[in-house]
Amino acid sequence: MLALGASLPIVGLGCRGDDKRPQQVPAPATKPKPRKLVVLFLSGGPDGVLTLDPKTPSEVEGWVDNPTHTESITAGNMRLGSLWAPLSKWAERMAIVHGVQVESANHFAGTWQFLRMRRRGLLSTPSIFDLIARHQQSPLGAVTVGHLFNRTYSPGWLALDGEVVGTSGAQGLSHFDSTPRDELAQLAAALRENARAPGLRPTDVQSYERVIAYLDTLQTVPPLELVPWKVPSGERMGPPITGMQRVLWALEHDLASTALVYFGFNKFDSHWKNLERQQSVNAAFTGAFDLFLQGLHAKRNQHGTLAEQTTILVAGEVGRFPRLNSDHGKDHFPEVSMLLMGAGIATGSKGNIVGQTGKNMLGLPMDLKTGKLGGTKHVMLDNVGSTLLRLFGIEPTQYGYPSQPIEPLLG
């Protein structure tokens, strides 16, 4: 039996944010706003020319390393690099944004910025997940799964499941999976008593309330049943793969509003043997992501299929420099391509490509309202943040984001 006085196995427990309700942007009458956000974070940075931004030899400078251009695929309006060809059946449901400037070539700063979808973010700055979760009605608000690390700290997160880098064994709320329901009720009652203790900060009370709501809900929903996901790779990817299944379960039962899947602690960081390392980690990711997408379309709740209510974003915190170094690897690059799909994202019937990179793989200027190339402005990470906030009915400027979203992405 779990002792009621025992400390909770929770990583990153924090507040849900202040009680102020954000200003709302009127949503289109014919299209309800998304209810859930899932971000798959490809830690270390995938190689764009092998994944989301394939090129023919004539489309790049001669010094750009482009070893598998003959193996890229085309589906509808979309092109996917050789290492993402296994996702071709989903290509026409995708939107890809090229040339997003992150203005960082550092993993720590890049990760902090990525979680906030804005440049120059600090650890104390609320993440995009925190801001969106403030609107939604779910016990946990924002959660993270996969490889857990202090880079991914966010004020309002709980670790739903995962493995802390440098340790072994599961961490977070997954410890409650096998707890009998009567013990969950006892623990919730004990926490309610603790939450009434004098001298607690408001943020402490909010943290108690979130865990209590989670324990109450666990007593009414079916337990998570993990199944083996066969992923074609020798990479050690157990935490994010089981984490993806846990996210599906949490979304299905409205336990969380937003989720980060931290996929592969720096596994995409291919400073040596770029092609070999990118092949291995992308094989693991595409296999798991395909199964995750299948689950989103198969599972449903009272609001419809999970795919109909969930917005997905996939990217890394940095890109990869297009020229090989002396170790046949690729170093960091301060621009990325991003994949978005699901609820609220404009993909048309054949997929949607927004923006373009030039022969040196740098993003070209683009009009954020029309998507037409030209002018002097580039797509910035902050514009991606504004786009996500708009999708969820939140006015971006009240949190310091630019007023201009990437309008060609808005469905």
Model confidence at 91, pLDDT cuts 50, 70, 90, reads very high
Model confidence at 358: pLDDT above 60: yes
Express as a percent the part of the chain with pLDDT over 90.
70
pLDDT reading at 9 higher than 60: no
pLDDT tens column, 284-316? 999 999 999 999 999 999 999 999 999 999 999
Show the 3-state SS of the chain. Answer: CCCCCCCCCCCCCCCCCCCCCCCECCCCCCCCCCCEEEEEEECCCCCHHHCCCCCCHHHCCCCCCCCCHHHCEEECCEEECHHHHHHHHHHHHEEEEEEEECCCCCHHHHHHHHHHCCCCCCCCCCCHHHHHHCCCCCCCCEEEEEEECHHHCCCCEEECCEEECCCCCCEHHHHHCCCCHHHHHHHHHHHHHHHCCCCCCHHHHHHHHHHHHHHHHHCCCCCCCCCCCCCCCCCCCHHHHHHHHHHHHHHHCCCCCEEEEEECCCCCCCCECHHHHHHHHHHHHHHHHHHHHHHHHHCEECCEEHHHHEEEEEECCCEECCCCCCCECCCEECEEEEEEEECCECCCCCCEEECCECCCCCECCECCCCCCECCCCCCEHHHHHHHHHHHCCECHHHHCCCCCCCHHHEC
Q: What would the pLDDT profile of 59-81 be if each residue is shown by its tens digit? A: 999 999 999 999 999 999 999 99
Segment 250-280, tens digit of pLDDT: 999 999 999 999 998 889 999 999 999 999 9
Question: Is CATH 3.80.10.10 correct for 36-409?
Answer: no
pLDDT value of residue 12: 37
The pLDDT score that the predictor gives to residue 340 is: 98
For the whole model, what pTM was predicted? 0.90
Q: What is the pLDDT of residues 134-145, one digit of tens each?
A: 888 788 888 888
pLDDT band at 29 (very low <50, low <70, confident <90, very high): very low
